[in-house]
Amino acid sequence: MTEEGGELTLDVMFECLEKLPIPEGTRFEIVEGNIFFSPQRESHSEVIMDIVEQLRTKYPRKRVKSDVRIDYPGHLNGFATDVTVMTEGAEKTEGGGWRHQDVVFVAEVISKGTAVNDYGPKKAAYALAEVPVYVIADPYQGRCHVYTHPKGDDYTTETKVAFGDDMDLTGTVVGLTLTTDEFPCD
């Protein structure tokens, strides 16, 4: 699983993973060189779809992505983010991927097995990539964590929003309020 120079790359890793017989409804991503497989629970899917539907009231389909590989700063970080909003005019690279520099919003819905990634290395990578708004929807806590103002490998502002309350993102690049009253708890 290495290229000519003997170095392991994200492209090689993803190429190998895409050849595996991965069960339907299971997603995979690479965080700091480690491969994570996550079956998607119904509640997880409901939150993702709710966020996408709300974002679509403002953004065209081409700007809203879900479960699409984007490579982020750090060692072997190829994330398949639950929800991503791209900048106006973002285009795929010659290699067919999206640039992290064109990401303006990311939302991750917590899974028990991968929560440590969303709160840890992925949060750090999004901050390093200067993603302006990072939201973690946590059905186990029944709340969202909204991170803004990236600086280095962290965010300087965190706002907690209980499921059922509105997530006011009007003062951010997102420019709208997301409702959470239909987000299910686990």
Res 163: pLDDT: 97
pLDDT band at 5 (very low <50, low <70, confident <90, very high): low
- Residues 74 and 42: their CA atoms lie apart, in Å, by 31
- Residues 120 and 175: their CA atoms lie apart, in Å, by 26
Q: Tell me, rounded to whole angstroms, the distance of Cα 80 from its chain centroid.
A: 6
- Residues 34 and 32: their CA atoms lie apart, in Å, by 6
Res 158: pLDDT: 98
The first and second tokens of residue 136, run together, are: 């973690």
By CB atoms closer than 10 A (0-12, 13-18, 19+), residue 96 is exposed
pLDDT digits (tens, 9 = 90+) for 121-147: 999 999 999 999 999 999 999 999 999
Per-residue pLDDT for 1 more than 50? no
The first and second tokens of residue 135, run together, are: 């939201």
Task: Give the rounded percent of residues in the chain with a pLDDT score beyond 70.
Answer: 84
CA distances from 87 to 33, 39, 101, 130 (A): 27, 29, 9, 13
**pTM of whole model > 0.85?**
no
Per-residue pLDDT for 85 more than 50? yes
β-sheet bridge partners, residue 79 = 70
Average predicted confidence (pLDDT) for the chain: 88
Res 45: pLDDT: 85
* Least confident segment among 10-14, 26-30, 54-58: 26-30
Pairing mode, strands 103-109 and 133-138? parallel
